[in-house]
Structure 1
Amino acid sequence: MIGKLISISLRNRVIVLLIAAGLFGWGIYSVSTNKVDAIPDLSENQVIVFTEWMGRSPQIIEDQVTYPLVTNLQGMPQVKYVRGTSMFGMSFIYVIFEDDTDIYWARERVLERLNYASRLLPEGAIPTLGPDGTGVGHILWYTLDAPGMDLGEQRAIQDWYVKFALQNVAGVSEIASFGGFQKQYQITLDPNKLSYFNLSVPQVINSVRTNNNEGGGRKFELSDIGYIIKTTGYLQSMADIENIPVLTQNSIPIRIKDVATVQMTGESRLGIFDLNGEGEAVGGIVVMRYGENAAEVIENVKAKMQEVSAGLPKGVKFNIVYDRSGLIKESVDSVQTTLVEEMLVASVVVFIFLFHWRSALVIIIQLPLSVCIGFILLNAFGISSNIMSLTGIALSIGVIVDDAIVMVENAYRHLAEAQNNPSHE
């Protein structure tokens, strides 16, 4: 079989050269389109289900949330195993699928099961899917450099402006905010006043909930003019909350401010984010979507940051804390330099030892052609250019040169014998 293939190739040299040129061009295109990252993504093919039920102990979370979800998520097609973790107020379920399973097909299957499993959970516990990212998806961290601005204002800018803008970048799965204070209205009830007015906590909660609502009517026509009737009832300030009536006694309304204190404050925190020991900071983490080009996504995020900066308050700017693009560039450039050096050294050594330029040319041509074919296969199997894949190509150059030298030297010896001894043919 090999003898026939060699014989056909010798008779059709032009076709062989055209095929080699086509593979070389295809390889050059594959090099330019191949995904680039510093490290390979070896994380498991998983879907994360997150459920928050604040104020409950880990044992209650385990019994009423984690256990029902784990038992209902088992048995799905192409699932290897299901893991569950319970902690204070939160439950995490990790559904691990087979490596060749499409991640978005897997997320659809999990959502189908959650539609049923959600009915088994207590009121207020709503399971949600985690981002479609991986364990190495954290490609960029940034903070807001806002001198003189309090942490609550910074967090509001991050959550209501920066986050929404950066999430629109192609390849970004999530912008995870961190640091600062999430603003909220807090109503601090006075138990003595509640007892004096004979009120309960549920009554106060219900009054606030029912008074923070928009109501719609219908279309009303008058003199051939249509009017849309609606009521405006959203709470917009602390004064609105303080004046909410809870109960009427002897035609006198009992308001929130009569039994409680209303204040603007931040949500309770379990930790802080400190930057270089200089104090607290507010920022976000850019999580890359599964299977995207890390270098390209980082470049697009930085370009979007330039657009977003124009809308930030005066004096506020981005401060990039962690940027994987630098590691990607240094890693890939280092391996690429080594790859080029190996090809040059191997070419020189082959030419010196064979001392026959046509024989050396056959071997030298194989080196870049083999590398280009390697990139074609990397794209075909969805493997990015990273330290491990490029190092593997670099190590294979020695094997390519060894095989080529043996074949060329053997052919050169047979041709030399045939020329010196024509009768041998």
Structure 2
Amino acid sequence: MIEKLISFSLHNRIMVLLIAAALFGWGLYSVQTNKVDAIPDLSENQVIVFTEWMGRSPQLVEDQITYPLVTNLQGLPEVKYVRGTSMFGMSFIYIIFEDDTDVYWARSRVLERLNSVGNVLPEDATPTLGPDGTGVGHVLWYTLDAPGMDLGEQRAIQDWYVKFGLQNVKGVSEVASFGGFQKQYQVTIDPTKLTYYNLSVPQVIQAVRANNNEAGGRKFELADIGYIIKTTGYLKSVEEVENIAVTTTNTIPVRVKDVASVQMTGESRLGIFDVNGEGEAVGGIVVMRYGENAEEVIGNVKVKMEEVAKGLPEGVKFNIVYDRSGLINESIDSVRNTLIEEMVVASMVVFLFLFHWRSALVIMIQLPLSVAIGFILLNAFDISSNIMSLTGIALSVGVIVDDAIVMVENAYRHLADATKAKQSVD
């Protein structure tokens, strides 16, 4: 078989050269289009289901949320195993699928099953899917540099402006906010006053909920003009919350401010985010979508940041805390330079040992061609250019050179022997 292949190549040199040129061109194109990242994504093919049930103990969360979800999600197709974790007020379910399963097909199957298990969960517990990212999807962290602005305002800018702008970038799965205070109206009830007015906590809660709502009416026509009737009842200030009537006693309304104090404050926090010991900061984490090009996503996010920055308040700007593109470029450049150096050194050694430029030329052509074909295979198997894949190519250069030296030296020796035999006959 090998003899026939060699014979065919010798008799069709132009065709072999054209095929090699085509493969080399295809390889160059693969180098330009190959996904680039610093580290390979070795995480499992999983879908995360998150359920929040605040104020409940881990054991209660385990019994009423985690256990029912785990038992119902175990029968999904192509699932290897299901893991569950319960903590205070939160439940996490990790559904691990087979490695060759499409992640979006898997998420669809999980959503279908969740629709059928909602009746077995508590009313105020709603399971949701985690982002379609992986464990190495955190490609960029940033904070808002806003001198003189309080943390609540910064968090509001992050949650209601910056986050929505960056989430539209192609390849971004989620922008997770951190730091600062999430503004909320906090009603602190006085139990002594509740007892005095013969009220209960649920009555106060129901009164606030009922007065923070909008209702639609109908279309009313007058003089050939149509009017849309609706009521606007959303609470907009602390004073409006304080003046909500909870009940009426002897025609005198008992308002929220009579039994509780109302203030604008931040949600309770379990920690803070500090930057370089200089104080608290507000920012976000850009999570890359599964299977995307990290270098391209980071570049697109930075371009979008420049556009979003134009709408920020005066004096507010982005401060990038972690940027994986630096690690990507340094890692890839290091391995790439090593690969080029190996190719140059190997070609020089071959030329010095054989001292035959045509033999050295064969090896010099074979090395870049082999590397180009390697990138074609990387694209075919959807493998990114990272430290491990490029190091593997760099290590294979030695094997390629050894094989080429043996073949070229053997061919050179046979040709030399044939030339000597021909000269002796003449």
TM category (shorter chain) comes to over 0.9
SS in 2 for 1:319: strand
The 1-side partners of 2:249 and 2:78 are apart by 64
The one-letter amino acid paired with 1:99 is D
The one-letter amino acid paired with 2:230 is K
* Match status 1:119 vs 2:119: yes
The one-letter amino acid paired with 1:86 is S
Task: Tell me the matched-pair count.
Answer: 424
| 1:342 Cα deviation after fit | 0.4
Deviation track 1:15-35 (CA, whole Å, cap 9, x = no partner) reads 100100000000000000111
- Counterparts of residues 395-410 of structure 1 (less than 5 Å): 395-410=395-410
| 1:75 Cα deviation after fit | 2.0
Normalised by the length of structure 1, the TM-score is 0.98
The 1-side partners of 2:42 and 2:190 are apart by 55
Partner of 2:108: 108
Partner of 2:243: 243
Gaps of 5+ in 2: none
The 2-side partners of 1:36 and 1:105 are apart by 25
Normalised by the length of structure 2, the TM-score is 0.98
| 1:200 Cα deviation after fit | 1.3
| 1:418 Cα deviation after fit | 1.7
The 1-side partners of 2:341 and 2:348 are apart by 11
The 1-side partners of 2:239 and 2:421 are apart by 110
| 1:320 Cα deviation after fit | 0.6
The one-letter amino acid paired with 2:286 is V
Partner of 2:156: 156
SS in 2 for 1:342: helix
Deviation track 1:378-423 (CA, whole Å, cap 9, x = no partner) reads 0111111111100100010111011111111111111222222249
Deviation track 1:175-197 (CA, whole Å, cap 9, x = no partner) reads 01111100000111111221122
The one-letter amino acid paired with 1:307 is E
Partner of 1:287: 287
Partner of 2:13: 13
* Match status 1:370 vs 2:370: yes
Partner of 1:71: 71
The 1-side partners of 2:288 and 2:376 are apart by 24
The 1-side partners of 2:14 and 2:108 are apart by 51
The 2-side partners of 1:396 and 1:114 are apart by 48
SS in 1 for 2:127: strand
Partner of 2:94: 94
RMSD across aligned C-alpha pairs, in angstroms?
1.1
Percentage of pairs with the same residue: 82
- Counterparts of residues 336-415 of structure 1 (less than 5 Å): 336-415=336-415
| 1:78 Cα deviation after fit | 1.1
The 2-side partners of 1:271 and 1:359 are apart by 67
Partner of 1:265: 265
- Counterparts of residues 74-223 of structure 1 (less than 5 Å): 74-223=74-223
The 1-side partners of 2:46 and 2:12 are apart by 50
- Counterparts of residues 23-42 of structure 1 (less than 5 Å): 23-42=23-42
The one-letter amino acid paired with 1:154 is Q
* Match status 1:44 vs 2:44: yes
The 2-side partners of 1:157 and 1:227 are apart by 35
The runs of at least 4 consecutive aligned structure 1 residues that moved more than 4 Å come to: none
SS in 2 for 1:287: strand
SS in 2 for 1:212: coil
SS in 2 for 1:126: coil
SS in 2 for 1:42: coil
| 1:296 Cα deviation after fit | 0.7
SS in 2 for 1:421: helix
Partner of 1:233: 233
